[in-house]
Structure 1
């Protein structure tokens, strides 16, 4: 039991906060829909419910992915978070379909909904709460990518750094971005329906929200399919190569892979060294390089293999030392 509690404490905190907030929002929106029958509110209820379930899975998956390797699973559980996220998008996909279908039916058979003050108030509160969660996700993106920012720069820099964030954080970011936008679209749809008599506007708003949810499904599916297959990180590989070439004993890098394992990285490399090095010198060099790489954010495992320099350069970069 203590081991399970320890794993849960290491889960993605942004996902946990988002799951709790979206559960509360879904209950409030669902209650409002029950009393008013507003289709835009139905879309937002489904959206928040899907996000809450999804982010709960994300939190559990990110926690379980931290489990240490076992004899049966010697490669660890890093990619488990990708598998969980692939399963989680099915939930959002179903919610998206139901949201679009309900909106389409409302466009064909528009009806006047009631309780505008209740609906607008609840949606406004939902937008504020979703904005808070989105801001927390933005801060988490910057934390994971080692970028400092304050004020409005948090917004712009988090968008620019999103690609390098962890899968779970990226999902929370995108879902809450869509949730915040969806709340605003729902409010606009209700206002158009009430004040201008455009009852189909609520159905259109529902379809727009469903389409945005499908976009998140597509993005999350593609990102995590890459993670399950084992995607390499080019930026980290370049960073490691620069570190390696600070050691003049290294003459070439025939192979270097920084493989993403869930939220962590597994690094393997083959290095060509000066043949005049003794075994002891080579071991000391290997230990120094390995220690430096393990200090990099997210790297949990490093495998280094040495070969004698064959005089044929395979890794060409601007930061390579000059010959001689």
Structure 2
């Protein structure tokens, strides 16, 4: 998944949600529907979220400096975590409060056809945004089930938008059902219940996103396939007696730090060790361009009182 692909996903969602939010607020004010108001809040929060994700991309692209020698790539994870909190606090909580309030002060829905027309248009626009996000997710993991692909993805800009759009489509279906029942049965309570259900849905999505982004913020490793392939490259080199440790950590969606502890052959001299490190580094980076920092450390040999200094590449 490329940075340009992530931006395309965010811009598609931003345009769709901004237009939908304005339309939903107008429909909610005209018809008095609680579920439509909750949906409008949902779309407004999603619009703000896309703005925060774009801010995260911009700040993460800043070059490394003395204070951040590995760059600012991990900042994109922080802003994705903020997005999860906003969905929880503003989207979920406000929708639940609105629905709870309307349970005790029910209000009849006027001109329900307006709600149905708006919701139908919103489904079309959210469906387009969802398709763009799903295509980008599948570009990086075409074979795994969607949930597994989301959990293995290291780009929160893609999976956050995908989860938001999935929640939006589910919320729209709930709103359609609630408004339809409220109108058909002349029972505004169904409209209020739909609002509460939308809020609960948003809270669950927010908790899922918070869990996934928290894992990335705290230093998530590269995929098992990447770690295994790096280990294979190191083990196959005849100058390596054994590979004692391979550690990886994502510094951003497309930046990985690699640190490995190697037991080099005893007969290697200093120049040969340096050559081995350079060649292994080139081989690893060619096979995995996302690995941008490589630290190779000779393991302590038996009988040595202290370890050797790390060899950095």
Under a length normalisation based on structure 2, what TM-score does the superposition of the two structures give? 0.87
Please list every run of 5 or more consecutive structure 2 residues that lacks an aligned counterpart in the other structure: 304-313
Residues 241-280 of structure 1 correspond to what in structure 2 (within 5 A)?
Answer: 241-263=231-253, 264-280=255-271
Deviations 1:49-96 (A, max 9, x none): 111101211122023212220123212101111221222333222221
Aligned to 2:184: 195
Deviations 1:264-293 (A, max 9, x none): 221111111212223333333222321232
Of 143, 148, 152, the match for 1:160:
148
Aligned to 1:138: 134
Does 1:300 find its partner at 2:277? no
User: How many residue pairs align between the two structures?
Assistant: 296
Residues 221-240 of structure 1 correspond to what in structure 2 (within 5 A)?
Answer: 221-233=210-222, 235=224, 236-240=226-230
Root-mean-square deviation over aligned CA pairs? 2.2
**What SS does structure 1 have at the residue aligned with 2:299?**
strand
**What SS does structure 1 have at the residue aligned with 2:263?**
strand
Deviations 1:11-66 (A, max 9, x none): 63312221221111111111111211111110110111111101211122023212
Counterparts of 2:290 and 2:126 in 1: how far apart (Å)?
Answer: 28
Under a length normalisation based on structure 1, what TM-score does the superposition of the two structures give? 0.84
Deviations 1:121-167 (A, max 9, x none): 1111111111111111111112233x37xxxxxxx744432212212
Counterparts of 1:160 and 1:27 in 2: how far apart (Å)?
Answer: 34
Aligned to 2:81: 86
Moved more, 299-308 or 29-38: 299-308
Counterparts of 2:7 and 2:263 in 1: how far apart (Å)?
Answer: 39
Q: Deviation of residue 199 (structure 1)? A: 1.8
Counterparts of 1:102 and 1:292 in 2: how far apart (Å)?
Answer: 58
Does 1:118 find its partner at 2:114? yes
Is contact 2:6–2:158 with CA below 8 Å preserved after alignment? Answer: no
Please list every run of 5 or more consecutive structure 1 residues that lacks an aligned counterpart in the other structure: 1-7, 149-155, 312-324
Residues 1-324 of structure 1 correspond to what in structure 2 (within 5 A)?
Answer: 12-92=7-87, 93-145=89-141, 147=142, 157-165=145-153, 166-233=155-222, 235=224, 236-263=226-253, 264-295=255-286, 296=288, 298-307=290-299, 310=302
